[in-house]
A and B are shown apart, each in its own frame.
Chain A
Amino acid sequence: MNVFRLTGDIAHLLAIILLLMKIWKTRSCAGVSGKSQMMFALVFTTRYLDLITNFISLYNTTMKMIFIASSYGTLYLMFLKFRATYDSNHDTFRMEFLVVPVAGLSFLVNHDFSPLEILWTFSIYLESVAILPQLFMISKTGEAETITSHYLFALGSYRALYILNWVYRFYFEGFFDLIAVVAGCVQTVLYCDFFYLYITKVWKGKKLTLPA
């Protein structure tokens, strides 16, 4: 564990808490993509199957359980409790355009052709693009609530911090996982446009709106 990985995990946790808080406090999931959230639940489910087979540490197990539980909690709030507020008209990104190619790629490019490893690879690839429906939704509506933009900033920062963690681990531990690194870089690049808008608008106290 190094400082980049720890702050990355904290940013990830913070993002999830921010999203749950937004939905709970406003009693609304308006502006949140249910498709991105469904894919995140799928990401955590397929990646953390190793909870059953491998024990790494109490920290690792606890975080995994929190991530899985919170992702299903978010789905419960979005699709059951506050279903009436779900903005499905703007959530039109086609999930199969991501899930199908990602599933194909995880069969073709992986570290080992075994069920658990293919599912892990699938989760890494899917996570890298799972935010696209959310970003697409913002581009359609042209704006995001400030709390939603904080959520996205924390969520994007998490993988960016993981990249620093991988650089650190490469130099100091000789650790290098090509699949995670490439997918993590793709994931971070997808946020760059959002990061720019967030820093130039939200940090100056304005609402996140897209240029016309």
Chain B
Amino acid sequence: EEFEYDHDEL
């Protein structure tokens, strides 16, 4: 499974 970058916080 490919990692998806999803850091939407500060």
Contacts and interface: CB of A to CB of B under 8 A. Distances in A.
Interface of A: 5, 9, 12, 47, 50, 53-54, 56, 60, 63-64, 67, 111-112, 114, 116-117, 120, 162, 165, 180
B interface bracket (residues with beta carbon within 8 Å of A): under 10
A60 B3 contact: no
Contacts, number: 25
Contact of A54 (B3, B5, B9): B5
Contacts of A63: 10
Interface in B1-10: 3, 5, 7-10
Interface of B: 3, 5, 7-10
Contacts of A165: 9
Contacts of A180: 9
Contact of A112 (B3, B8, B9, B10): B3
| Residue with the highest number of chain A CB atoms closer than 10 Å, among B3, B5, B7, B10 | B10
Given A54-B5, A60-B8, A111-B3, 8 more contacts: A5-B9, A9-B10, A50-B5, A63-B10, A112-B3, A116-B5, A120-B7, A180-B9
